[in-house]
Structure 1
Amino acid sequence: AEAEAKAAAEMAEAARVAAQKAAVERAAREKAEAEAKAIAERAEAARVAAQEAAAEKAAREKAEAEAARIAAEQAARDAEAAAQRAAAEAAKERAAAEARAAADERAAAEARAAAEAKAAAQIEAAKRAAAERAAAEKAAAEARAAADRAAKDRAEAEARAAAEAKAAAVARAAAEQAAKARAAAEARAAAEHAARKRIEAEAQAAAERGASEANATASVPGELLPPLPTHAPANDNVLPSDPIAGILEGDGVAEAEEGDLEAEEAAAPPTRKRRRAQRRSRRDRKRNYGIFGGMFGGR
């Protein structure tokens, strides 16, 4: 009985648990159905609201589009009008700018023409000044050249005159010296000629006397004749048989030659050679000078 009671209790407990579980499941199902229904209702409400919002949005967008079209058309009309006004203003400004540009160009052309005219005038003035300066420089150069030529001609004339004067003085001195030398030579030649004539005459007379004496002494014995001279003649360069040279050893011709030599030395300018000649002895002069002005021997 206890087992049956226990089994009945367990079955009752199991039924209760099952009933509770079924109640919980039913409550959960009902709750889920209620929630699903609420969700469906909310979804329907949201769909309806969305449709309404879409309709309103479409209407609003249509209105906005119409307003935008109207505004665009108005803006286009305003823009066209503004463009026309701007074009008119631009045309007006362009015309004004063209007028200003033409005026500026005309002013620039006038200024350029004035500047070119001024530059041409300045260039012409500079050319005239340069030409005048060149002419002045040329005139000054010609004047300087003329002065230089005149100075050169004057210097050449003075130098030529000095040279001519010097040449004339030299020529006069040479002429005077030549005249003195010629006079001395003529005097010496005359003295030598006279001495030679005298010597020739004396030699001829001596020859005649010798011939007569030879004829007279031809019969005289040799022991009675005077002895022959044993000394050499004074002039070593002259042959002993030269009667004229022997006679020229005398004092008369030597003194004449010495006087001629002194006259020639006084007429001619002194030189070293003639100073050496003045230092020579009288005997050397007698030995080396002949009657014709020559020299028989060297120094």
Structure 2
Amino acid sequence: MKNKQIKILLSAPRGFCAGVERAIEIVEKSIQKYGSPVYVRHEIVHNKHVVDNLKNKGAIFVEELEEINDKSRPVIFSAHGVPKKIPEDAENYKMTYVDATCPLVSKVHREAENLNKAGYHIILIGHENHPEVIGTMGQLPKGSIDLVQNEAEAMEYKTNPREKLAYITQTTLSVDDTKEIIKILKDKYTNIKEPAKEDICYATTNRQMAVKNIAKKCDMFFVIGSRNSSNSVRLVEVAKKSGCQNSQLFHSESEIPFDQIQNSNTIGISSGASAPEILVKDFINELKKKFSINVEEVEIIKENVVFKVPNKLN
């Protein structure tokens, strides 16, 4: 088995985006500034490796503010964003809080508020129960925003024909699937208002484009990331649709399918926006133990986006 030659096409860009880097830095700087523990409401980003690493440094993860016994300790809101009610609750508890919401998610929140003020009824394209969707819908009064998850729901969607209508989207969706949903809505509601600039974020778009670029050349494709990471799960779908049927998510409990890899000549690797590069390196190192590996990084675009952490942490 040792010397089977395998080519790895390494998708670039991959891995951490600017919003994830900023969120992790916010937790680390909060621990430096306030000491430990600091609390984090919801996983800061959807990756077990990152979460475990921050736990070791002094972060405690909770789902709700009520779980925090010592309200004198600071709390950080995750990169996915939170409903309006959460910062209000924190203020009522007199808690110090730091908001690590990705600036591109905050942009969608502001967009939703502005549309609502301008009298629009809003359709949010996204996945039910994803924290980002809960956060975005939680910016507005109940009933002023509806969720559409797929083409079938877009077909069935009904609203008051006299209503001014606008749509916004979750930032981590499949670019191609979302286009189809938008097309259905535009055909039905010719006056529907669209975002001035697409809501799907640059990192999601770039990572999907990079996977599309190489998937058809691969016998197998691995996306390294967590099961609850929307952008990672989308990358697997994109790889399949782009011509590599044997595409799979490689998460913290996955085992490397060496026997399947043995039957492959070329495998593709990418990683979700919340997956650290060390996981990609570890994966390749495991393959090197069994096979003769030739790695080629295929980069389609350089990313140089950086988001600053809040001033109070500097």
Q: Give me the TM-score of the superposition, normalised by structure 2.
A: 0.20
Instruction: Choose between structure 1 and 2 for higher RCO, CA contacts under 8 A separated by at least 6 residues.
Output: 2
**Greater Rg over alpha carbons, structure:** 1
Q: Give me the TM-score of the superposition, normalised by structure 1.
A: 0.21
